[in-house]
Structure 1
Amino acid sequence: MASPRAVLAASVIALWLAVAPASAGTRASPGCNVETSYTVQVDAEGLRFDAAGDVSPRRVEIHDGGLRLDGTARPVSAADAVRLREIESGTRALLPEIAAVAREAIHLGFDALGGVHAALGGDRRRARDIEALRQRALLRVDQTLGRGTWHHDSLGAAFEAELAAAASEVAATVTPARAVWMAFSGGAGRMERRMEAMEADLERQAAVREQAIEAHAGALCARLERLHGLQESLELRLDDGRPLRLFEYDVDAPDPDAPAALDANGERAPPR
């Protein structure tokens, strides 16, 4: 039989997945995926791609329709110059929007975990620890996307680790002594039922915020698709005849196992 603390830890993680499925990778509606072997930097000098893996060219610089590959200027057609300008301006406008979506998802997730902690009568020290993890996640966004830098794992494993750490802080609300007392008094079953009720309540509260995040992210997907189309239409060829490929884009299929979204009244919306 699982201990009350183990039950709580599993329930907290399940709560996060239920409240923020778009951020956790469980999607009821299509999203998009972008992969790149480059770290992207946007600043006053233009758009720079620095290789983060085994890829060539190692550095690509785009500015005002011009192109440099590994420090050497490359001539481009008039049509490609137009495409490069749009790639630069589109990427420059996109990064702050991606940062905004990331901040929204962070707040949604940590608000949910903080609510669980408070509802379970958690102490102030752990509440401060959870808030510190939120601020660390927000700081990472500010120091990367907020400064015009993006790489493939800007918000990946580290963000998931912070959420897991916060969930552990919530689970630690149940001390060993309290866990033993609950096991003998039947409190573990009551706690499970309380967590189930809390999950339903948090789902209702988060429905509007979650859908706003999905709508925001969906709009970004359309813009990313436009940038990908511009890249695919470049006439430029590298010395070995390959087209210039800075990133890959694809559309995610809806997850058939994902729960349907909730409307503002807490009702399940029909599948899209």
Structure 2
Amino acid sequence: MTARLFALAVAACFAGGAAAQDLGTTCQLASTYDLTVRPDSLSFDRADVAPRNVRMHDGTLTTDGRAVALRPDEQDRVALFEGNVRALLPKVKGIASDGVDIAARAVRQEAATAAPGAAASGELDRVLGTRVADIKRRIAASQSTRDWQEDAMREYAQEIVSDIMPLLTQDVGGEAMQLAMNGDLQGAAALRDRVASVSSGAQERVAAKVTAALKPRVQALCPQVRQLGELQSGLHDAAGHPLLLLETGG
């Protein structure tokens, strides 16, 4: 399974493409669990392998509904693990939110190149700004990594595309038709070629901009993520098996 814990995916799309930056991959730690941060606890969930649910609350540990007996030093480590996750979450959200802004600006640049009329009218900025604000609100409100995985971010990306594509199609189509009606078939063909050229490489260009901007910030969080891996060392589930919320790799 792909890494999920603290998954940091940032929509970077144009005409249906998407790119993702994963915190687990960058920091070489992965997890098969989804994490939900609740006001009173952390809940780690997966469907296939026991323990399927791991719950931490104020130094206590429960796996699949069974309390785990902990020594005082283990209670301290569980409490510190929970506190560190809560401290890390807003930092990850901040990077994700900024990534959406970076992606949106890059998408706008691509769209403006393909359809400058739509960009000049201000309608593109209005539509794009509304959608980006909605996505950022959802990131801010989210308490589960399910909302941060690549599939979720692809959905966010597709929402952006569905909003802006009608504007671009109308602008380019209208301009091409006008050129053709004026007898400039070569100009109409050149316009179509320009749009095709922009679209074909847009995903890679947008992804590159997002990655370049965010990778140093993601890497800066790696020591905190690795500390979580150290804190879980020696902990066991209720069946006595080593607790592996984070594993080396990704």
TM-score by length of 2: 0.68
From 81, 92, 101, the equivalent of 2:75 is 81
Q: 1:61 touches 1:67 (CA, 8 Å); kept in 2?
A: yes
**CA 1:48–1:249: 2 relative to 1, 3 Å:** same
Q: 1:38 touches 1:246 (CA, 8 Å); kept in 2?
A: no
**1:100 paired residue number:** 94
**CA 1:220–1:42: 2 relative to 1, 3 Å:** farther
DSSP 3-state at the match of 2:169: coil
- Measured after TM superposition, the shift of residue 217 of structure 1 is 0.6
Count of residues in correspondence between the two structures: 218
Taking the aligned partners of 1:245 and 1:142, their CA distance within structure 2 comes to 28
**CA 1:188–1:134: 2 relative to 1, 3 Å:** farther
**1:228 paired residue number:** 229
From 120, 130, 141, the equivalent of 2:139 is 141
1:109 aligns with 2:110: no
**CA 1:97–1:182: 2 relative to 1, 3 Å:** farther
Taking the aligned partners of 1:170 and 1:237, their CA distance within structure 2 comes to 49
Taking the aligned partners of 1:180 and 1:248, their CA distance within structure 2 comes to 57
**2:42 paired residue number:** 48
Please tell me the residue identity of whatever aligns with 1:178. Answer: E
Please tell me the residue identity of whatever aligns with 1:91. Answer: V
Please tell me the residue identity of whatever aligns with 1:141. Answer: I
Q: 2:36 touches 2:44 (CA, 8 Å); kept in 1?
A: yes
**CA 1:227–1:59: 2 relative to 1, 3 Å:** same
- Measured after TM superposition, the shift of residue 248 of structure 1 is 3.8
**1:158 paired residue number:** 152
Question: Deviation digits for residues 50-91 of structure 1, max 9, x if unmatched?
Answer: 524234334433233322334443211233223212211110
- Measured after TM superposition, the shift of residue 110 of structure 1 is 0.7
**CA 1:192–1:108: 2 relative to 1, 3 Å:** farther
Q: 2:30 touches 2:249 (CA, 8 Å); kept in 1?
A: yes
**1:245 paired residue number:** 244
DSSP 3-state at the match of 1:105: helix
Taking the aligned partners of 1:153 and 1:35, their CA distance within structure 2 comes to 16
Alignment of 1:182-197 (within 5 A): 184-189=185-190
DSSP 3-state at the match of 1:140: helix
Please tell me the residue identity of whatever aligns with 2:32. Answer: T
Q: 1:50 touches 1:59 (CA, 8 Å); kept in 2?
A: yes
Of stretches 93-102 and 151-160 in structure 1, the one that deviates more from structure 2 is: 151-160
DSSP 3-state at the match of 2:107: helix
- Measured after TM superposition, the shift of residue 95 of structure 1 is 0.6
1:174 aligns with 2:169: yes
- Measured after TM superposition, the shift of residue 98 of structure 1 is 0.7
Please tell me the residue identity of whatever aligns with 1:88. Answer: E
**1:69 paired residue number:** 63
Between structures 1 and 2, the one with greater helix share: 2
1:36 aligns with 2:18: no
Residue identity over aligned pairs, in percent, reads 24
TM-score by length of 1: 0.64
Please tell me the residue identity of whatever aligns with 1:128. Answer: R
DSSP 3-state at the match of 1:186: helix
Of stretches 30-39 and 109-118 in structure 1, the one that deviates more from structure 2 is: 30-39
- Measured after TM superposition, the shift of residue 118 of structure 1 is 4.4
